């Protein structure tokens, strides 16, 4: 007999997916009561013409639109404060985030300050908000972070170079939009990095201490889709079918980790990314297989299932041998799409390890890792991939 624990599941109220979904943003902005809309995005979205497209759809509904395009990769508390100034100066009342995880995280953090007051650093942690965000629509352009549908945001503290994590159901968008047409222009390296980010979300959620049968289904579905479609998406970024399938993959992975949370892959990646301003998905991809090897003993049956979901033949194998196949499959996928072999290739030095390990141990994601971990364990894991 086992005890069924309390289960909750958080997701956006409306989720629009597929070709043409982006064109619905204006109608939903109007239905949410918006009059003055701020689009939080990055310069790349402006240069690609995506920001003007979204602006036009909103203008068609008779609303005013302003654009903040100052989001940088690995958004900082400075970006958040700058976005808030634009929000306040124009008396905006509805938030739209456009881009990948950086734009969504920056916009969410700006929304915290807009309604809860104070400084963004006051709200790092879980369930710290004083008020709900303003009405909020997220429009996603990468198939990886799933920040457009989750209750999490990550922002770098520029004084400490540590990524602050914010987790609250009130950070979830009212409407989340995933149109693969907006994914078509992603460069190959970003496609690879964000795809591995989605895979990491799915695997960490699947083996998390907070996993449930609901999140397990989402996670396994995402793993299967990434294993099948990431290679062809990287090979040909104009492949609309592949792009569409990766949208579903990152969405399912997002639903999984939004509710099951993550583990020490993310705890470790957060530190490397903030210390050297590195791509989050690449850090995850490098760290993922070594952490999976470490976690394997805590959940061998689940890692065997991961291997099967990635297309490995596990017939006749012991559970541990089948679980080992998952590690090999992850490594081959990363290599095939051009992920670097180690953090040293990205500029991380062995002298950085003590600080990173100390911060990783304190990261909230560490709490949900399936296998307990010490400072020395994390040091050893970092050193194995430098």
Answer yes or no: is pLDDT of 48 > 70: yes
Q: Which pLDDT score, from 0 to 100, does residue 170 have?
A: 95
User: Per-residue pLDDT averaged across 162-187, rounded?
Assistant: 94
Per-residue pLDDT of 230-285, as tens digits, reads: 999 999 999 999 999 999 999 999 999 999 999 999 999 999 999 999 999 999 99
Q: Which pLDDT score, from 0 to 100, does residue 58 have?
A: 98
Instruction: Kindly report which listed range (10-14, 47-51, 327-331) carries the lowest average pLDDT score.
Output: 10-14
Q: Which pLDDT score, from 0 to 100, does residue 12 have?
A: 79
In this prediction, residue 11 has a pLDDT band, given cuts at 50, 70 and 90, of: confident
Answer yes or no: is pLDDT of 89 > 80: yes
Answer yes or no: is pLDDT of 2 > 60: no
Q: Domain-by-domain residue ranges, the chain?
A: 14-183, 188-383
Please give the CATH number for the structural domain made up of 188-383. Answer: 1.20.1090.10
If one compares 185 and 40, the residue with the highest pLDDT of the two is 40
Q: What percent of the chain has pLDDT over 90?
A: 95
User: Per-residue pLDDT averaged across 2-15, rounded?
Assistant: 68
3-state secondary structure string across the chain: CCCCCCCCCCCCCEEEECCCHHHHHHHHHHHCCCCEEEEECCHHHHHCCHHHHHHHHHHCCCCEEEEECCCCCCCEHHHHHHHHHHHHHCCCCEEEEEECHHHHHHHHHHHHHHHHCCCHHHHCEECCCCCCCCCEEEEECCCCCCCCCCCEEEEEECCCCEEEEEECHHHCCCEEEECHHHHCCCCHHHHHHHHHHHHHHHHHHHHCCCCCHHHHHHHHHHHHHHHHHHHHHHHCCCCHHHHHHHHHHHHHHHHHHHHHCCCHHHHHHHHHHHHHCCCHHHHHHHHHHHHHHHHHHHCHHHHHHHHHHCCCCCCCCCHHHHHHHHHHHHHHHHHHCCCCCCHHHHCCCHHHHHHHHHHHHHCHHHHHCCCCCCHHHHHHHHHCCC
Answer yes or no: is pLDDT of 61 > 70: yes
Domain 14-183 has CATH 3.40.50.1970: yes
Q: Which pLDDT score, from 0 to 100, does residue 18 have?
A: 94
Q: Which pLDDT score, from 0 to 100, does residue 1 have?
A: 36
Answer yes or no: is pLDDT of 63 > 50: yes
Per-residue pLDDT of 192-241, as tens digits, reads: 999 999 999 999 999 999 999 999 999 999 999 999 999 999 999 999 99
Answer yes or no: is pLDDT of 119 > 80: yes
Round the average pLDDT of the chain to a whole number and report it: 95
User: Per-residue pLDDT averaged across 158-168, rounded?
Assistant: 93
């Amino acid at each position: 007999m086992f005890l069924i624990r309390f289960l909750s599941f958080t997701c956006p109220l409306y989720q629009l997916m597929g070709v043409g979904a982006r064109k619905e943003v204006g109608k939903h902005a109007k239905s949410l009561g918006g009059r003055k809309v701020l689009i939080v995005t990055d310069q790349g979205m402006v240069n690609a013409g995506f920001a003007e497209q979204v602006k036009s759809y909103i203008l068609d509904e008779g609303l005013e639109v302003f654009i903040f395009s100052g989001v940088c990769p690995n958004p900082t508390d400075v970006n958040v404060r700058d976005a808030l100034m634009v929000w306040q100066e124009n008396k905006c009342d509805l938030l739209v985030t456009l881009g990948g995880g950086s734009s969504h995280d920056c916009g969410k953090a700006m929304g915290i300050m807009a309604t809860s007051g104070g400084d963004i650093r006051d709200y790092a942690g879980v369930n710290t908000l004083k008020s709900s965000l303003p009405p909020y629509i997220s429009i996603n352009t990468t198939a990886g972070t799933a920040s457009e549908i989750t209750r999490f945001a990550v922002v770098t503290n520029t004084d400490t170079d540590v990524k602050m994590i914010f987790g609250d159901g009130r950070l979830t968008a009212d409407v989340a939009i995933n149109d693969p047409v907006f994914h078509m222009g992603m460069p190959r390296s970003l496609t690879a990095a964000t795809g591995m980010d989605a895979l990491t979300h799915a695997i960490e959620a699947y083996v998390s201490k907070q996993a449930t049968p609901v999140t397990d289904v989402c996670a396994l579905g995402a793993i299967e889709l990434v294993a099948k479609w990431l290679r062809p998406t990287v090979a040909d970024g104009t492949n609309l079918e592949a792009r569409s399938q990766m949208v579903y993959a990152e969405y399912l992975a997002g639903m999984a980790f939004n509710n099951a949370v993550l583990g020490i892959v993310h705890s470790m990646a957060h530190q490397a990314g903030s210390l050297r301003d590195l791509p989050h998905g690449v850090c995850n991809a490098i760290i993922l297989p070594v952490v999976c090897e470490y976690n394997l003993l805590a959940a061998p049956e689940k890692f065997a299932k991961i291997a099967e979901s990635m297309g490995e033949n596990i017939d006749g194998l012991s559970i541990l041998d089948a679980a080992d196949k998952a590690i090999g499959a992850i490594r081959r996928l990363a290599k095939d799409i051009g992920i670097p072999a180690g953090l040293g290739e990205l500029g991380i030095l062995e002298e950085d390890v003590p600080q990173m390990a100390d911060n990783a141990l304190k990261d909230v994601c560490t709490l949900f890792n399936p296998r307990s971990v010490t400072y020395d364990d994390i040091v050893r894991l970092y050193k194995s991939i430098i």
